[in-house]
Structure 1
Amino acid sequence: MRDRIARTLAWVLSVLAQWARNPRPSKHTAAYLVHQPVPAPTSPWAKPWTSPSKEDARRYFAEQAEWAVPLTPVQRERRIALCEAAAGRDYPYSYPGAPFPRSAFRCMAVAA
């Protein structure tokens, strides 16, 4: 055990001796900041425009339209009901097994 402690102590002293010979300032000291180069201010106009071209955007949206899955009748009806509700109008939404048929509802605009 004494040998292990002695070797550890010797190693710590050797590290401290090297640091004493060649001290490097840590990042949170003024000496470190003095030696750092000041970055040049960059202008947003220095870089060229990097957005996709018109052709790239057209190709992307065409591919996206190909990936689109058609809506089921239930999804289509729910979206119509959502749009009507957002516009402030009643929509007689019904589903299979509903307690009332669709014809039992009156469609009338809600007065705003």
Structure 2
Amino acid sequence: MRDAIARALSWVLSVLAPRHPGRHSAAFLAELSTPIPAPVTPWSRPWSGPTKEEAAALFRREAETTMELGVIQERRRAAALATMGVDYPYTYEGAPFPRSAFAAAGVSA
């Protein structure tokens, strides 16, 4: 009896619920077989180095990333000090107050 109930429930679920392609289905294997293109960088060409323009663009991009990481680190430092109740002279571009406003108040971190 239990077997018949289980079969009936599985049939109802198979009719009502859409099936997702499993790992062994043709659709899943077709997705795996499509090659993923490798990122093209000037450093991926082994026998020819990057041109000056490509190297300058990469250097500029790395410098921007480094500056962004510095800003993130400063924000985290300001947040950590704020949780301890310490004012940190955190300023940013376009801030309504300059860094000197903190120095005049005698606040230091």
**TM-score, length of structure 2 as denominator length:** 0.32
**TM-score, length of structure 1 as denominator length:** 0.32
Higher CA-based Rg: 1
Structure with the higher fraction of residues in helix conformation: 2
